[in-house]
């Protein structure tokens, strides 16, 4: 209010100096404008517009203060949420790291078990193959022996048949029958 009055008083000499006519003359447009302006300000003051404008400005300032306080609260809440999410993100990253490490260990263990099982399976198959080879070898030796015996028996039969008489053959047959009976009983 004091500033307004000071400004009005400061305008009076300016208006007086701007015109060549006397200042208080109604023919001077500056004087008429000044009077109209002062009257207008007086009406505004009389009607209390300055109080209403002040109240409106105070209400606006209060609204701005509330908005700033709300913005601060929202910012703090956002910072808290950010800190919480950062902590959760770190926790999730740590859990993921642990899970990956556990999965890697399990995969290594499974690979080790699979290698051991494969080695054992190869050992069993090698042993079975060796046993089959040994069995086939024994069968081949047996077969060769059997054929050798058959050939020897056939050759002996031919030699004996040529060299032996019928009475000697009957005697050999009787001796063989007797030997078989001894062994069977």
The reported pLDDT for the residue numbered 73 is 96
Mean pLDDT, the chain, integer = 85
Residues with Cβ within 8 Å of 30's Cβ and at least 6 positions away in sequence, in order, are 15, 16, 18, 19, 23
What are the domain boundaries of the chain?
2-89
Q: What are phi and psi of 109, to 5 degrees?
A: -65, -45
Where helices occur in the chain by DSSP H, the ranges are 2-18, 29-47, 49-163, 166-184
User: What are the tens digits of pLDDT across the range 58-83?
Assistant: 999 999 999 999 999 999 999 999 99
- Are 17 and 50 a contacting pair, CB within 8 Å? no
The reported pLDDT for the residue numbered 11 is 60
Position 152 pLDDT exceeds 80: no
Quick one: pLDDT band at residue 156, thresholds 50, 70, 90? confident
The reported pLDDT for the residue numbered 20 is 62
Top pLDDT among 149 and 85 is at 85
Neighbour-count burial for 59-98, b at 16+ CB within 10 Å, e otherwise? eeeeeeeeeeeeeeeeeeeeeeeeeeeeeeeeeeeeeeee
Write out the two tokens for 140: 């081949």
Q: Can you tell me the distance from the alpha carbon of 141 to that of 135, in angstroms, rounded to the nearest whole number?
A: 10
The reported pLDDT for the residue numbered 19 is 54
- Record the pTM: 0.39
User: What are the tens digits of pLDDT across the range 11-64?
Assistant: 655 545 555 666 677 777 888 898 999 999 999 999 989 899 999 999 999 999
Quick one: pLDDT band at residue 183, thresholds 50, 70, 90? confident
Q: Which residue has the tokens 């100096």?
A: 17
Position 136 pLDDT exceeds 60: yes
Neighbour-count burial for 28-54, b at 16+ CB within 10 Å, e otherwise? bebbeebeeeeeebeeeeeeeeeeeee
Quick one: pLDDT band at residue 158, thresholds 50, 70, 90? confident
| Of residues 179, 159, 178, 161, the one with CA closest to residue 169 | 161
The reported pLDDT for the residue numbered 174 is 81
């Amino acid at each position: 209010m004091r500033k307004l009055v000071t400004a009005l008083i400061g305008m009076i000499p300016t208006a007086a100096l701007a015109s060549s006519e006397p200042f208080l003359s109604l023919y001077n447009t500056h004087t008429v404008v000044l009077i109209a302006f002062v009257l207008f300000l007086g009406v505004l003051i009389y009607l209390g517009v300055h109080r209403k404008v002040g109240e409106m400005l105070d209400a606006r300032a209060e609204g701005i203060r509330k908005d700033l306080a709300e913005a601060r609260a929202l910012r703090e809440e956002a910072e808290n949420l950010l800190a919480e999410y950062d902590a959760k993100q770190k926790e999730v990253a740590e859990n993921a790291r642990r899970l990956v490490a556990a999965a890697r260990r399990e995969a290594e263990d499974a690979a080790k078990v699979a290698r051991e099982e494969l080695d054992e399976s190869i050992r069993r198959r090698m042993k079975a193959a060796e046993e089959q080879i040994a069995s086939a070898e024994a069968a081949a030796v047996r077969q060769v022996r059997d054929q050798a015996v058959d050939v020897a028996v056939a050759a002996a039969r031919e030699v004996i048949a040529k060299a032996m008489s019928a009475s000697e053959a009957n005697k050999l047959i009787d001796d063989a029958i007797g030997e078989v009976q001894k062994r069977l009983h």
